[in-house]
Amino acid sequence: MTCIKRVVIAGGGTSGWLTAAAIAKLYGKQVKVTLVDCAEIGKIGVGEATIPPLRNFHRLLGIEESEFMAATQATFKLGIEFNNWARQGDKYIHSFGVTGKDCWACDFHHFWLAGYNKDLADSFGEYNVERQAAIQNRLLPGDSGKLNYAYHLDSGLYAEFLRSHALKHGVRHINGKIEHVDMSVSDGSIQALILNDGSKIDGDLFIDCSGFRAILIGEALNISYEPYGHFLPCDSAIAIQTESASELPPYTESIAHEFGWQWRIPLQHRFGNGLVYCSRHVSDGLAEERLLQSLQTDPVSEPRRFQYQTGRRIQAWHKNCVAIGLSSGFLEPLESTSIHLAMSAILRLLKFFPRESIVEEAVLSFNRQTQDEMEMIRDFIILHYKATERNDSDFWRYCARMEIPETLEHRIKLFNSNGGLLIANKELFQVDSWAQVMLGQRILPKDHHPIVDLMGDDELDRFLKSYKNFVSDRVGAFPLHKKAIENYCRSCVTEESS
């Protein structure tokens, strides 16, 4: 029986250093953590938007929020604004936080539906604090504001911040190119990484954070990949950085085009921009031209193009190798889930972390939970494409006609019929997220929960107005987003250059 004493991580970047920091912080007294930063592994480095669970993960690692935000040139994020998705000219925000106030029998959107059909309700977003704060460019950081927010950050600076944090907890860092993976003849597990200078990095547990290349889980262990391209047709992206602007909206912008969509992400020192597209419907050259023509501030970098394949590794944990990050799978950045999926996999590994030997039941549970998580998030992202009325291009006509997983088809039909949303506690996107996107994509339920009808029109009117006023009063007390950054987490680099 082999004790797990040596953990070897292949790949730096966000996933690698996030994994190293977490294992070293929590298990550093029991295991030795070595990270091999492979020079040949290209880092995508465009994952600049996050979602709220990262805040709790940072607390677990002992990361102080204002320090982290200043170091990564971060701004606050309250949601994602979707433009031109259901129809050209449409606009809605998928915001964080809770919309309205529900009851024991049904969720708030049922009360809203009844009010909407009786001309008693305003737009759905009027009843969400985070959404109203987003459009008014206001935010109160920290726990005092009781806001559900995330971050926009510089992914390169974030990796460096995590690297520094991990090294403080004793992680051994080796720069080197992996030339060969030494495998056990007896059981096919990984024994060591052989670097280009001849050095040998032995380990008991290996973590593959080598990105799309998947040096360990894919190349060495030959674990296959299940593609999602028939559900998520975009397969290419172009990223470029531009100058900052006077206004820094506390949300990510997602603007649909005739062959994909474009992101715009505000940081303290610049904007991150990119175009996600389907190469079957537009050439790389035309996609880049569209991106450059739509920039709102001047470029400060050259365009970077990369291709990807959405999908998941059939087994994220095989023998003594665990894939985390892009080596495990990839769902396009539409809902900013890439860093979250790495974080979630790390938490899952910490939960099932082997002590004296790798337990097969733990591996099976890890892989099942990984698959469930990927498929539930996959369905949520597909919803944005499928629920469209656009027919102005071959791309959108394909999306409207394409077959979708039965799990998603059931959700759409249920919501469309009576506003029902049956969400498991373990799902990342809960009722508020599904309702906002369903309604934003013009899926309006034909009926609402019958318990709402126990409330008379006058009572329903008072209920909706009262909560809308509550939201308005609360948001009105928040400072402007830019002021919140200046007082809480302004970067010294930004300050010096301004």
Interatomic CA distance for residues 151 and 144, integer angstroms: 17
Give the chain's length: 498
Strand order in the sheet with 178-183: 178-183, 190-195, 200-202
Residue 319 annotated among the catalytic residues of the structure:
no
Residue 105 DSSP symbol? S
Interatomic CA distance for residues 75 and 265, integer angstroms: 9
- Per annotation, catalytic residue among 5, 29, 32, 77: 77
Determine which helix (DSSP H) or strand (DSSP E) holds 194, and give its type and residue range: strand 190-195
Residues forming a β-bridge with 397 = none
Q: State the pairing for strand pair 321-323/205-208.
A: parallel
Paired tokens of 256:
């649909």
Q: Which residue has the tokens 């992400």?
A: 265
Q: Say if residue 304 is exposed, middle or buried (CB neighbours under 10 Å; 0-12, 13-18, 19+).
A: middle
Interatomic CA distance for residues 97 and 113, integer angstroms: 19
- The b/e string for 80-114 (b: 16+ C-beta within 10 A; e otherwise) is bbbbbbbeeebebbbbbbbbbeeeeebbbbbbbbb
Q: Which of 18, 9, 10, 7 is nearest to 40 (CA)?
A: 10
Tabulate helix, strand, coil % of the chain (nearest 5): 40, 20, 40
Residues forming a β-bridge with 35 = 9, 173
The residues assigned a catalytic role are: 77
